Amino acid sequence: MSDYVFTSESVSEGHPDKVADRISDGIVDLYLGAQPDARVAAETLVTTNRIVLAGEVRGPESIKPDDIEAVVRDAVKEIGYEQEGFHWKTAELSNYLHEQSADIAMGVDASGNKDEGAGDQGIMFGYATSETESLMPAPIDLSHRILRSISAARHADANSPFEPDSKSQVTLKYVDGKPVGATTIVVSTQHKANVLQSDLREQVRAHVEKVLPEGWMCPEDDFYVNPTGNFVIGGPDGDAGLTGRKIIVDTYGGAAPHGGGAFSGKDPTKVDRSAAYASRYLAKNVVAAGLSSNCTIQLAYAIGVSKPLAVYVDLWKNEMGIDPHKLSKVLQELVNLSPRGIREHLSLNRPIYARTAAYGHFGRTSTADGGFSWERTDLVAALKAEFGL
C-alpha cells in the first residue's frame, strides 16, 4: 500500500524493562572498561524493591561483587528511582552472575588457525529509510523524541510532575509512501500524587507539539494522555522488568524485521548485538549514499564460525536500479563482517553501552568516544564511487 497508517511505540528509561536493560548494559561497560576483551551475558530482573542478576561473565578478578553492586545502584539512581516501592539505595540485590561456560568460550575464542567465532547462531537485520534526518522510520523516531523531551524536563526540574516510567505511541498517516501527519498520539506517564490529569495532559501536549513537525498534531479526540487515569504506582513496583523484552522499541518500531535477539547485557562478541549494529551501519550508508530510499540487510551466523553464512540486501522499490547482488559483494569488501572484523571496524570493545539502553540503539548521534559508531556514514563516498553516483 502507498497510502496507510503505521504505529510505533517507545518506552522511557524508567520503564521496568528498560531499568533492567540499563543495569545489564552498565555491567557490560564495567567489564569492558576494565578489560576490552571481557565477556558478558548479563540478565536482570527488577520488581518491587528487588533486583536479581544472572548470567555469565569472563573478566578481570579485580572486579568484585561490590563493584557490580555500585554499578547497579548508580544506574537506578541515575534513572531517578527514589520511591517507596523501588529505591536505588534500599532495593534488595541478588547477584547470580557466574563464569562463562567453557564450551561457549571454546567455540568463540580464536586459536591456532581458527579465527574468533560468532558468540551464537542467529539472524540479524538492519534497516534505514530516507523519511527522517536520522534515516529511521518516522513513527519510532517521534515516539523516542517525545519521551526524551519529557525525561529531560523531569531531570531538569525537581518540581516536575513527571516520574520515571512512561510510554508513547505514535500513529502516522502515509500518503504515497511518505508520512504526512499524526492520526493518533498516546502518552502514558507516571506522575506524582495529587497531579490533576487535565494539567498533566497540557504539559504532555507541550512536549508532543515541540517534537512533531508543524501541522502534524493529531485531532484532539485522538490525543490520549494516561487514558486509564492515575499512574502514580509505576516502574518495577507496578510491573516486573526483564532484560531484552523491548527489542522492537530498541530497533525500528516494527517497520522492519528483527532477528529476535536482544542487545542489552551482551558484549560485542555476541552477534545478536554487534551484527545488528553492523547491518544498521551498512543499511544507513546505502541510503545516505542515495542508492535507495529504503534498505534492509540481513546477516546470518553460526556459533563458533567467523564469517556470516549469508548477506541479504533488499532495496525495496530500488529506484536507482542498483544490482543488490553486486551491492552485497561491495559491502562485504568494505567491511569485514566476521565478529572480530565488526568489532574492530566499529570499535565496539569499549564501555559505550549504558547509553544505548533507552530511546533506541539506532538513529542516535555518534560521539567522539566511539558511542553509536554504527551511525556513522563514512562508507558513503566509497559506495557512490562504486556505483557511479
Residue with cell 525500528: 252
Catalytic residue status for 246: yes
Catalytic residue status for 18: yes
Q: Which of 39, 148, 191, 246 is catalytic?
A: 246
Catalytic residue status for 270: yes
Q: C-alpha grid cell for residue 144?
A: 523516542
Q: Which of 145, 148, 154, 266 is catalytic?
A: 266
Catalytic residue status for 25: no
Q: Which of 240, 300, 302, 382 is catalytic?
A: 240
Q: Which of 69, 78, 239, 314 is catalytic?
A: 239
Catalytic residue status for 17: yes
Pairing of strands 178-191, 223-225: parallel
Q: Which of 39, 58, 144, 167 is catalytic?
A: 167
**What secondary structure letter does DSSP report for 118?**
B
Catalytic residue status for 289: no
Q: Which contiguous run of DSSP H or E holds residue 156?
A: helix 138-156
Q: Which of 56, 69, 74, 109 is catalytic?
A: 56
Q: Which of 39, 99, 23, 61 is nearest to 354 (CA)?
A: 23
Query: 37 to each of 31, 372, 385, how far by Cα in Å?
Result: 9, 19, 35
Catalytic residue status for 43: yes
Catalytic residue status for 15: yes
Catalytic residue status for 115: no
Q: Which residues contact 152 (CB under 8 A, 6 or more apart)?
A: none
The answer to whether residues 179 and 138 touch, using CB atoms and an 8 Å cutoff, is yes
Catalytic residue status for 240: yes
Q: How many helices (H) and strands (E) does the chain have?
A: 11, 13
Q: Which of 6, 9, 13, 17 is catalytic?
A: 17
Q: Which of 22, 270, 284, 361 is catalytic?
A: 270
Q: Which of 15, 39, 207, 284 is catalytic?
A: 15
Catalytic residue status for 384: no
Q: How far is CA 10 from the centre of its chain?
A: 10
Catalytic residue status for 163: no
Q: Which of 13, 120, 267, 272 is catalytic?
A: 272
Q: C-alpha grid cell for residue 300?
A: 546470518
Q: C-alpha grid cell for residue 284?
A: 544507513
Q: Which residues contact 231 (CB under 8 A, 6 or more apart)?
A: 165, 188, 189, 190, 191
Q: Which of 6, 231, 263, 372 is catalytic?
A: 231
Give catalytic residue positions. Answer: 15, 17-18, 43, 56, 167, 231, 239-240, 245-246, 266, 270, 272
